[in-house]
Structure 1
Amino acid sequence: MTDFDYGPIEFYAIGFEGDRPGPAVLQAIDDLVAAGTVNVLDLVFVRRSPEGELEILELSDTIESDVPSLDLEGLAGEEDILALADGLEPGTSAAILVIELLWAKAFASRLYEAGGAVIAREGVPAPIVNAFLAENAD
């Protein structure tokens, strides 16, 4: 079997009210890592001031305790961060998260061995899926 060092990765912008994340944000991420669902490769926080200015915050600038180790810190470049934070409203902030999908690592390896590869992918956010299903339930 072909063993990839990393599985597929995804970039997320996770928004929240206020100018910095609460401790529950990092705990939620830690819980996913501990469960073996994802591997955090890079994590950056951004906030938009009430005047509309965007500030990029390194992880170490946002928390006082130990900073989690990141496999590929710096993977989210400034261009990525700016694109993901484009819709951030004044007075809010977001975590820009680059994660490896651990469940998909073996899937990608098996597809590669079989001579295939994922060539396109579309995602639908969970709130939209659940709202649609709730509206269309019998």
Structure 2
Amino acid sequence: MSDDFEDMGPVDYLVIEFPGNRMTGEGFPLLLDLVDRGIVRILDLMFVRKDTDGSVVALELRDLDADGEFDLTVFEGSSSGLLGQDDLDEAGASLEPGNSAGILIYENLWAAPLARALRRSGAQLVAGGRIPVQAILASLDAAEAAEAGGAAA
């Protein structure tokens, strides 16, 4: 493994669905802020659309900003080559017809020093994951209901 990879932080991906192909661009400045502050590094950013017939089409950044409302040129060239056609097809399979998605692969720069230290000590990541906010809220609601039910008894 090269030194570049040894120094990397954890790498994550997101597939973000935009119902009805409505992308406002509101999140782009926030993503840029994370990059500018050295919290994340964008490795890949691609967009796909799932047509009503179920076919999945890759979109160019210029296709997303036909009205000129937000500047996407800062994201051009955000391609490490990690995303392949299989990944685009898989992301598209998770979309509802008529929707589009952004596919983002990013390095967690904030965690790179910890990751380096752990690798030097021989540790390795053996599992990881994300807990959706909806699942956290449901769990908190269930705990609150159980607590209220126990107090009523």
Q: Name the TM-score class by shorter chain.
A: 0.7 to 0.9
TM-score by length of 1: 0.82
Match of 1:113 among 101, 120, 140: 120
Q: How far, CA to CA, are the matches of 1:75 and 1:128 in structure 2?
A: 29
Paired residues of 1:20 and 1:62 also in contact (CA < 8 A): no
Match of 2:28 among 22, 26, 38: 26
Distance verdict in 2 for CA 1:118–1:32, change over 3 Å? same
* Ranges in structure 1 where 5+ consecutive residues have no aligned partner: none
Q: How far, CA to CA, are the matches of 1:86 and 1:52 in structure 2?
A: 8
* Ranges in structure 2 where 5+ consecutive residues have no aligned partner: 148-153
Q: Percent identity?
A: 35
Which amino acid in 1 is paired with 2:38?
G
Of Structure 1 and Structure 2, the greater strand share is in 1
Shift of 1:103: 2.0
Per-residue CA deviations over 1:75-113 (Å, capped at 9, x if unaligned) read 211111211221100111110110111122112101111
**Match of 2:102?**
95
TM-score by length of 2: 0.75
Q: State the 4+ residue runs in structure 1 displaced beyond 6 angstroms.
A: none
The number of residue pairs the alignment matches comes to 137
**Match of 1:39?**
41
